Amino acid sequence: MNNGLQGWTAFAGAQIEQRESSGNKYVVAHKRKQAYDSVSQKINLQMGTHYTLSAWIQVTGKNVPVIATVKTSKGYNLAGAIFAESNCWSMLKGGLTADTSGPAELYFESNNTSADIWIDSVSLQPFTEKEWNSHQVQSIDKARKRKILVKAVDKEGKPIRSASISIVQKKSGFPIGSAITNHILKNKAYQQWFTSRFSVATFANEMKWYSTESVQGKENYADADSMLQFAKQNNISVRGHNVFWDDPNYQPSWVSALSPEKLKSAVQKRIQSVVTRYKGQLIHWDVNNENMHFSFYESKLGKDFSGWVFNEVNKIDPKVTLFLNDYNTIEEIRDSLVTPSKYVQKVKEIKSYPGNNGLTIGIGLESHFTNVPNIPYMRSTIDTLAATGSPVWITEIDVANQPKQAEYFEEVLREAHSHPKVEGIVMWTGWSPKGECYRICLVDTNFKNLRGGDVVDKLLHEWSSTQVSGITNQNGILEATLFHGHYDVTITHPTKKNNNFTHPMQVLPINQSKKTTTQLIQLSI
């Protein structure tokens, strides 16, 4: 913005001017009468190219949503959104993948026409698909793998040279899983299919309040208990889903008619019942599901309900990570209720409740993609959310039925796995005997792969370490780069017959505090 309005023009009916404050120059769009009255710059796009966008935005008056839009010959592409503030610059991060080549126009809009839009330091950076994919591979190599040194020594601690070493992965260190249904309890094929692939599960419905107490005062945890026992027996971690669901359409049928006093009593009983029952057995709880979109409990029990319920669950089970879980944050720019800045604001709001200051709140991104995924926006949004320091999980990922459903499913899974701040992925692909799935099925009724299943199996294979074999050097060391996870290491002595041992080994993420990039594992034979 240092060259005045060079390159910038008024868009639609706005008036624009350059201003300066403390030596900083920026552009202002004012006297706006329509949402799209703005300031714009003409650009040229290349079809299939990914573009990352960043800009500093400020508004006058009250805080309002501002959307970055790219107008092309084919229509309008949303490239980013932020809940902009007055008297404070906020960074809008986003992007788009060009669906056509040729001239285009980038501008910033807001439905609040009384707000002036201030814009500074705009960056639009292009990446070919090859460059984007290369960055994903580099990110995976850095975030999901580690170089290890396996050293074989004898009983006196002396290195054994020319020993044969074989390394076989037993379990991935990165949690990948799926929703499961109670049909898994009596179906051996379902059990084998699931346990041979996944390390984490979410129960599709069986822990929800409407499932465990469909009739007031008559609790039934039979399915949830049995499914949790099955998970434990197969070393599968479980996300608790959910303590409450803020959508008024998904309450137990008897709840809606309760007075505020009776509802508060029922809510407290529910917390004590379900959280105490599964204390110490779950890795996460989705505490008040989708409460950025809905406010059933807040409308009846007060606006502090979310902060209060996080506090209550934490008091009962302080070791489980509590999640704010919602949809459309990475899938849908148009949804102003769950923009990244709104998400961060909600986390701060929950933490501001008395006693919650030190609480770790997980960010659960449901990731139900209904349209063509905007991969650059997905990456930028996760960047913004991860900057809070909160753990980030992809909790219910799927893609709606459309011509390139399987291809888009692979795209979003790759992007999620390659982001270094994503700590786990759960797909919303629960199976039923009728072949019904929420949006995408991985297998048919005979557990034969459908196209979605082929994608998942391909990626699971790609994201695991194949068997590594080699010979130790003169220092008794074999070097390898492996995905994080659990392994069996078999060492065979070079001269002594029938002298081999198998040891368990765990490849851990880099210790950021010690900055130790290479992991040394010494095993005696």
Active-site pick, 396, 410, 411, 415: 396
213 has catalytic annotation:
no
| H-type alpha helices, 214-304 | 222-233, 260-277, 296-301
Query: Among the options 213, 290, 331, 411, which is catalytic?
Result: 290
Start-to-end CA distance of the chain, whole Å, equals 67
Structure tokens belonging to residue 476? 């008794």
**φ, ψ of residue 190 in degrees (nearest 5):** -65, -45
Q: Where are the beta strands (DSSP E) in 246-360?
A: 284-289, 321-326
Contact 53, 110 (CB under 8 A): no
How buried is residue 504: exposed, middle or buried, by Cβ count under 10 Å (0-12/13-18/19+)? exposed
State how far the Cα of 457 lies from the Cα of 475, in Å rounded to an integer. 38
Q: Is 396 a catalytic residue?
A: yes
CA 54 vs CA 76, 96, 229, 384: distances in Å: 18, 12, 47, 11
The pair of structure tokens assigned to 366 is 């449901």
Instruction: Report the half-sphere exposure of 269 (CA within 13 A, side-chain side).
Output: 14
Q: What secondary structure, in 3-state letters, does 147-201 show?
A: EEEEEEECCCCCECCCCEEEEEEEEECCCEEEEECHHHHHCHHHHHHHHCCCCEE
* DSSP strands (E only) in 366-452: 368-369, 392-399, 422-427
Helices then strands, each counted (H, E), the chain: 11, 26
- For residue 446, whether the previous peptide bond is cis, meaning omega lies within 30 degrees of 0, is no
| Closest among 148, 45, 173 to 484, alpha carbons compared | 173
Give the 3-state secondary structure of residue 233.
helix
Residue 423 near residue 177, CB atoms below 8 Å: no
Could you give the angle at which helices 340-351 and 305-316 cross, rounded to 10 degrees? Answer: 60
Q: Annotated active-site positions, please?
A: 290, 396
